[in-house]
Structures are given as C-alpha cells and as structure tokens.
Homo-oligomer: A and B are copies of this chain.
Amino acid sequence: MNFKKIAFDVMGSDNGLIPAVDAAIKLLGEQKDLKIIFVGNEEKLKSVLATKKYNPEQIEFFNTTEVINMTDGILEIRRKKDSSMVRAIELLESDKVDAITTAGATAPFIAGCHFILKEIPGIKRPGFMPVIPTVVSGKVTLLLDVGANLECDPEDLQNFAIMASAYSKLINNVDNPKVALLNIGEEKSKGFEMHQNAYKLMDENKNINFIGNIEPRYIASGDVDIVVTDGYTGNIALKAAEGMGKILLKEIKTALTKNIFRKLAALRLRKAFKEVSAKFDYKNHAGAILLGVNKIAFKSHGSSDKVAFYATLKMTYNAIKNDVVNKIKEALEK
C-alpha cells in the first residue's frame, strides 16, 4: 500500500508518551492509508504500545537518544543531532515521510525547519498559522503569523495572504477566501508604516481577496477567512484573547457552583455549556502549520493531550492528502 507518512516527534511534549500514542492509534484506525513513524525512545514507545490495539503495518519506529527540551534555545538544534525533533525533520527533508508533527519547543522547531527544510523559494519568513474558531458554526479563521517571527515586512504579509488563501481553498473549502490585515483601526492610514504599505500591496494584488484592516476584536467574528499580521502582534492578540476566554469560563464556573441550588440548575444546562466550550476549546485547534517552509510541518501545543494531538495529526494528514505545500508553491508562482 502506498502509505501517507507522518514522522511524529513524541519526545518534547509536556504530558509524556501516552496521549501522543493514543491519539496516533485513534487516527490510524480511521485512516487506513496512514502510517505513523514514531520518532523517539523506541523502547519506551514499544512498552506504551504493548497494551494497545493497532495495525502493525501502520506503525514504524525511529529510535533517537536525545531530546530537545522546552527550555532549549535554537542552538540545541545544531548540538543535539540525535534528538527526536532533528531526526524527524531530517526524515521529512529526505522524503522518507510526507510531513512531521511535533509538540516540542517552538523556537528550536522553527530553527530546525529553517536550517534543514529551508523555506519555499521567494519566502523570507515562514509563519505559524493556528486555526481560530469563530462564532459562525463550522467556520474558522486562519491567523498568521502568531510568533514564528517578531518582525515582518509588507512582502512577508503579502506572502502570508497568498499562502493562507491557497490553504483555505484546499483545506477549508472556501472559494474566494477573504483576507484582512490585523490593525488598531479600520482606516487604511492606521498603524505603522509597515501596515500602510502592507495594506497597499495586498489591496493592489489581484490574487488576494483583500478586504482591508480588521481590529483584534473581530478576528473570531467569522467575517473573514484569513487574518495576516506580524508575529509579535499576532502573538499578543492570540494570547490576550485566549486569556480572556479562560478567565471568563472560569468565572462562570465559579459563579455556577457557588451553592447547591445553582449547581443543580447548572447541571441541567451541562450540554449547553459543553457546546460552547467545545467550540472554543483550544484543544480542537491546538495545531499550527509552519507555513512557508518547503514541506508540511505541524506543531501541536506543548501541553497537548490526546484530543489536541489527534486534532493536530488529523490536520497534518489532511495537509498531505491535499498536497498543500505544492499547491502553495503553485499559488506563489502566479
């Protein structure tokens, strides 16, 4: 069988091997043409897998002896040659696999992809692109960059728009994805010179369905399919929104469990609350592609559990199925 292959770096995550393995087995059960190469401590991996049910043809191991830790700087990518992260990226670079998924440290991951995979020709800076749930059911917004780079220039933002538009068409089935520029106001004179120039570039580019500036409060409104920004601003906006979401949900929980009467009434609304939190739960959106590198490279949140890993692996699988990076290269050549 002609398997689609994901190299899965399972060593760097906060929660050990079990959630990663469980998520992989779940997806392998669903996608019979998928093979996952577990990159990491083979002995430990095999002992976790010993009690699980799976099709052995769909699993391989690649034993490694080192681990990139969460606190490691980008230089560890050069030093820890036998780390699971480096080996996984190398497997992808040499076309032994079609994509990688990691939950390891962000900065070394970006550095490793840059050093080993390189960027798509014409791309100076890749961007981290999480998928943001919106108020419109079933509709998502792609937001990039959220932190692969501190600074971006107008051309980077234009490239983000083109790449994300191709991704949105392929993966989210959006016909003519609407692109907006994250800014402090809607008028085109808002923001720094960089924003004004990026606005002009995208507005004049006929390959981008650019609709203007968007304020951070409307990212999740469902009005746009793609929001482009520099990594610093994207990171600030994402973390501010995440923080507010968590605080509000926590406050509501506290208020609803204050006494037995409230607890009983809240019990009857359990399903309603589950609907809301499922929609906005980051676990279902824990994965982000590093858009702009030469191959398909996904990162899952460092604290991923089974649900989060499953979501990221599924995104990775879909990206392979849709040949997303090659399609992006074609879009950039237009």
A interface with B by C-beta (< 8 Å): 135, 147, 150-151, 182, 184, 191-192, 215-221, 232-233, 235-252, 255-256, 258, 261-262, 265-266, 268-269, 272-273, 275-276, 279-280
Question: Which residues of B have CB within 8 Å of A135?
Answer: 247, 250-251
Nearest CB of B to A322, in Å: 29
Nearest CB of B to A274, in Å: 9
| A245-B244, A249-B248, A262-B269 known; A239-B217 Cβ under 8 A | yes
Nearest CB of B to A108, in Å: 15
The count of identical subunits is 2
| A236-B233, A239-B215, A245-B248 known; A184-B276 Cβ under 8 A | no
The answer on a CB contact under 8 Å between B279 and A269 is no
Question: Which residues of B have CB within 8 Å of A215?
Answer: 239, 243
Question: Which residues of B have CB within 8 Å of A272?
Answer: 252, 255-256, 258, 262
Partner of A216, one of B243, B269, B275: B243
| Chain B residue at minimal CB-CB distance from A252 | B276
**Which residue of A233, A248, A262 has the most chain B CB atoms within 10 A of its CB atom?**
A248
Question: Which residues of B have CB within 8 Å of A218?
Answer: 243
Ordered by A's residue number, 21 sampled pairs between the chains whose C-beta atoms are within 8 Å are: A135-B247, A150-B184, A150-B191, A151-B192, A184-B232, A184-B236, A191-B232, A215-B243, A216-B237, A219-B240, A220-B243, A233-B233, A236-B236, A241-B241, A244-B248, A245-B248, A252-B272, A255-B273, A256-B272, A261-B268, A262-B272
Bound form: Cα–Cα A243–B255 in Å: 22
Question: Which residues of B have CB within 8 Å of A280?
Answer: 248, 251
**Which residue of A220, A221, A241, A276 has the most chain B CB atoms within 10 A of its CB atom?**
A241
| A250-B135, A268-B261 known; A255-B239 Cβ under 8 A | no
Bound form: Cα–Cα A269–B248 in Å: 16
Bound form: Cα–Cα A235–B216 in Å: 9
